[in-house]
């Protein structure tokens, strides 16, 4: 856990979130500022700052995040959706704890 990381605080339960899934490795919750009718984030529980920090040891975790995107999107009633991982400041990343965005259902109301 990183003391200044907002997603580590969500993982630890210090900050509430609208959680839709969790197990020992990942948590998924609705984005606080949704950009689509359905917009959730899939977040590893371990603090990894960016995709650039991932190595072969993270391969299974990254694959799990993608498969979970498909599973949770279906559970949220989406038949089509977009997945995005922003990487680094120039890639639009604001929270430096890796996360996969899942967007669907059209623009946020
Ligand atoms: P990034 O730009 O780093 O890819 O996306 C970070 C996302 O985290 C943003 O869409 C932002 O709305 C979301 N976010 C930031 N703080 C919180 C929070 O405290 N709770 C939740 N649920 N989402 C957050
Ligand atoms: Zn973190």
Q: Give residue-wise pLDDT tens across range 24-58.
A: 999 999 999 999 999 999 999 999 999 999 999 99
pLDDT computed for residue 104 by the predictor: 97
Determine the residue of 84, 94, 108 to mutate for testing ligand 1's pocket, defined as the one with the most ligand atoms within 8 A of the Cβ atom: 94
pTM confidence score: 0.97
* Ligand nearest, relative to CA of residue 45: 2
Residue partners of 15: CB distance under 8 A and separation at least 6: 6, 9
Q: What is the token pair recorded at 43?
A: 């977040």
Sketch out the chain's domains with CATH numbers: 6-107 (3.30.428.10)
Beta strands in the chain (DSSP E): 19-22, 26-30, 36-44, 82-84, 100-107
Q: Is 99 a catalytic residue?
A: yes
* Ligand nearest, relative to CA of residue 17: 1
CB-based burial label for 89 (10 Å; 0-12, 13-18, 19+): exposed
């Amino acid at each position: 856990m990183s003391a200044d990381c907002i997603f580590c605080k969500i993982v630890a339960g210090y900050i509430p979130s609208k959680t839709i899934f969790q197990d020992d490795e990942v948590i998924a919750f609705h984005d606080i500022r949704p950009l689509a009718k359905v917009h959730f984030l899939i977040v590893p529980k371990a603090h990894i700052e960016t995709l650039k920090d991932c190595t072969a040891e993270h391969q299974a975790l990254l694959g799990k995040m993608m498969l979970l995107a498909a599973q949770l999107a279906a559970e949220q009633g989406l038949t089509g959706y977009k997945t995005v991982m922003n990487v680094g400041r120039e890639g639009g990343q604001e929270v430096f704890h890796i996360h996969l965005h899942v967007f669907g259902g059209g623009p946020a109301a």
